[in-house]
Amino acid sequence: MLEEERALPTANYGRDKQMRMIRMSRTAASQSARITFMRWNPALIFAACFPIVAAGQPPDSNAKILPDAILATLRIDSSTQTISYQDFIREQVDRVLFPPQDATPEQVDQYARQILRLSAQRILYADMAVKENLGGNTEIKRVIDRKLREVLIKKLHEEADSQVKEPSEEMIQAYYQAHLEDFHTLETFKIQTVNSYCAFPLDEKAMQAAHEHIQKAWGEIQSGSDFIRVAIKYSNSPLPYRGETIPFSAGDLYPAIEEIARQLKNGAISPPFQTRMGYMMIRRIAWTPAETEPLTKAAPKIKTFLFGKAREGHWNSFTRKKQQDLRPRIQDSLLFQGDPEAGDEVLEFQGHKMTWGELREYSDKQGESIAGMSQQDRKKRINGWIENALLCRIAEEQFSGNDTIQNELKLIRRDLLFREKQRNLLESIRKDLRISGDQANEYVEKNPGYFLSEKQTRIYLLNIPFSNDSSASSVNSNRQKAEGLRRACEAREKLQKNEDVSLISAEYCGKDWQYDLDFAPQGPRGRIVDMAVEMLQKGEVSEPVEYEKGYYLIQLQDVRKSAPLPLDAAQEKAVQILKGIQARDLLDKKLDGILDASDYTINPDNISLLIDQIKG
């Protein structure tokens, strides 16, 4: 199985922490650099910079670089490249576009060389892979075929979309009038807060300390101090609010906070009041009453919604019409004749007679095993495969001679071969590396944070949708959101009263919802849930957490804290880390030697051309 690209072209490339800092610190100017970078033509830039030779042919100093090859090296929007690689390339381009004030022309020149060298690396690896026939690898062929199917179906979607007309103003107005209640906006507030946080609200001493803390802040407010300065000085909540203006709608916050905000006038400050996790003061900045959203404001959303519905309907009729001529004449009753365990032939699939054993093997390769499925589920899965195969067949007939698709396939193939060759080189280097126990122990001692078991939590997770009506098709479902929030608050109160969670889940989430989630680290449950869990103490229930389809309620059941790994496990992990670091460094040196001795050279005379093209 091909893995995401782990070995990066340079030593800097693999510094995950540095890449995170780059992503966090990227400025608005850098954002414009990305747009510029996507526009410039790499093929024109690199054609004069260094040549590429075809596999199996002798080097030719006059050879021109292949456009598809160079595009494959720097396509930052490619799904086959890692985010780290994309950000690294963007960082290099940003340095050329927006060099530091003290950067010399030689330094800018070096940044441009780095881009060229990365491109040369990828081309060199890919050509080495072709010469070694790594493209004959069955796994790579499977991935290439899958990518080609994705490109074909994407093009088919684009053709269908081009035939859909945008909704008229009359259609938009008619929808608005028919769904007017969905465009009633909620009452909104803007407030600033001072939070005196208490992590243990059941501890009287802790709450008393929080009360004394907020009273100090209140005293400064009464003495005429600026509210924001007081908020910055005294707010100690884990939430990132230190006097910032917080917008919210009716129902978003605790009813008590909302009611106090409603009673205040704009600019007025409330006395301290108790919350679930300490004490708070608020200053109301603005208030907007509930009202009906005018058509002029709702029209863009309605237009997007109606166009999406039209696209969906046209796609269904578009493909259905084309499938009438291509769909194999397979009766549903024939799909499951015979005994699956005996391996009888059961259907004709993509032109082949397949036994159950062969079908299971095929499904495993697709990452969609049908082993253990019921007969009904197997039938649905197989029909899905047939539908996808038909779409591909339709697309192949329509786009078989399309140069764009063929070029995209070349890009995909070159990038896959590059990563496969790079992985093979790293594997061969790692095998010969020897890390002593002393080296591993020293690394563990210097980096203890790398060698901890992950903190794990066991939770109850309730998923409460905005609406129980599965047929609802609102563009602006404020009413449904408010109803979902009301139901989430009801469920939360029942959880806090220790009512039977299975009954609560059945009432608010449905009978089939699996609410009890066993111990797991951060990651698998999603960022939204992880962030909410981090704010909870054992036994506590979260506030309703909004996501795109409803609200989550989380109750923390138990915690397994992170702890140092056993010595053997820590040493083994350290050995693998050190091997990875050393292998990348050795590969970089080896690559430099190969590049210096090959025709993949960078012409210094054309560095200025690269810089001018990027900036242009």
Nearest to 508 by CA among 478, 551, 555: 551
**Amino acid, single-letter form, for residue 455:** K
190 vs 253, residue with greater confidence:
190
**Segments of 80-215 assigned E as strands:** 184-185, 188-197
Cα 28 to Cα 35, 94, 98, 108, 462, distances in angstroms: 11, 11, 11, 20, 39
Q: Let me know: does 60 contact 51? Beta carbons within 8 Å.
A: yes
**Segments of 238-325 assigned E as strands:** 246-249, 273-275, 278-288, 291-292
pLDDT > 70? residue 472: no
Q: Let me know: does 149 contact 283? Beta carbons within 8 Å.
A: no
Look-up of token digits 């109301």: 284
Cα 408 to Cα 80: distance, rounded to the nearest angstrom = 12
Average pLDDT over residues 60-88: 40
Antiparallel, parallel or unpaired: β 184-185 and 278-288? unpaired
**Segments of 400-455 assigned E as strands:** none
This prediction has a pTM of 0.49
What residues does CATH 3.10.50.40 cover in the chain?
187-289, 456-560
83-97 and 16-25 helices cross at what angle (nearest 10)? 50
Residue 358: predicted pLDDT: 52
Look-up of token digits 């390769």: 365
pLDDT > 70? residue 211: yes
3-state secondary structure of 371: coil
Residue 150: predicted pLDDT: 79
Q: Let me know: does 515 contact 474? Beta carbons within 8 Å.
A: no
pLDDT > 60? residue 225: yes
pLDDT > 80? residue 303: yes
Nearest to 172 by CA among 43, 66, 303, 261: 303
93 vs 3, residue with greater confidence:
93
Q: Let me know: does 140 contact 134? Beta carbons within 8 Å.
A: yes
pLDDT > 90? residue 510: no
Backbone dihedral angles phi then psi of residue 82, each to the nearest 5 degrees: -80, 160
Q: Let me know: does 193 contact 530? Beta carbons within 8 Å.
A: no
CATH of domain 456-560: 3.10.50.40
pLDDT > 70? residue 442: yes
3-state secondary structure of 498: coil
2 vs 564, residue with greater confidence:
564
Cα 127 to Cα 197, 420, 500, distances in angstroms: 60, 11, 63
Q: Average the pLDDT over each of 71-85, 170-184, 307-321 and give the range with the smallest value.
A: 71-85
**Helix, strand, coil percentages in the chain from 3-state DSSP, rounded to 5:** 55, 10, 30
Confidence category of residue 368, pLDDT binned at 50, 70, 90 = low
Average pLDDT over residues 138-166: 81
**Calculated CA dihedral for residues 214, 218, 220, 224, nearest 10 degrees:** 160
Cα 432 to Cα 577: distance, rounded to the nearest angstrom = 15
Average pLDDT over residues 123-145: 76
Q: Which residues contact 350 (CB under 8 A, 6 or more apart)?
A: 386, 389
pLDDT > 90? residue 460: yes
pLDDT > 50? residue 51: no
Q: How many CB atoms lie within 10 A of CB 434?
A: 8
DSSP 585-616: HHHHHHHHHHHHHSS----GGGHHHHHHHHH-
The token pair that represents 344 in the structure block: 């009888």
Cα 470 to Cα 56: distance, rounded to the nearest angstrom = 60
Q: Let me know: does 392 contact 545? Beta carbons within 8 Å.
A: no
Percent of the chain with pLDDT over 70: 67
Cα 468 to Cα 25, 264, 471, 481, 508, distances in angstroms: 42, 36, 9, 11, 9
DSSP code, position 47: T
The token pair that represents 275 in the structure block: 């919350």
pLDDT in tens, 156-183: 888 888 888 899 999 999 999 988 888 8
Share the mean pLDDT of the chain: 72
Backbone dihedral angles phi then psi of residue 291, each to the nearest 5 degrees: -155, 170
577-594 residues labelled b (16+ CB within 10 A) or e (exposed)? bbbbebbbebbbeebeee
pLDDT > 90? residue 522: no
Helix (H) or strand (E) holding 161: helix 138-161
pLDDT > 70? residue 342: no
Residue 598: predicted pLDDT: 62
Confidence category of residue 401, pLDDT binned at 50, 70, 90 = confident
295-326 and 138-161 helices cross at what angle (nearest 10)? 120
Look-up of token digits 């129980």: 468
Label each residue of 295-306 as H, E or C: HHHHHHHHHHHH
Cα 254 to Cα 265: distance, rounded to the nearest angstrom = 19
pLDDT in tens, 539-562: 999 888 888 888 899 999 999 988
CATH of domain 187-289: 3.10.50.40
DSSP 65-105: PPHHHHHHHH-TT-TTS-HHHHHHHHHHHHHHHS--TT--H
**Amino acid, single-letter form, for residue 265:** K
Residue 343: predicted pLDDT: 44
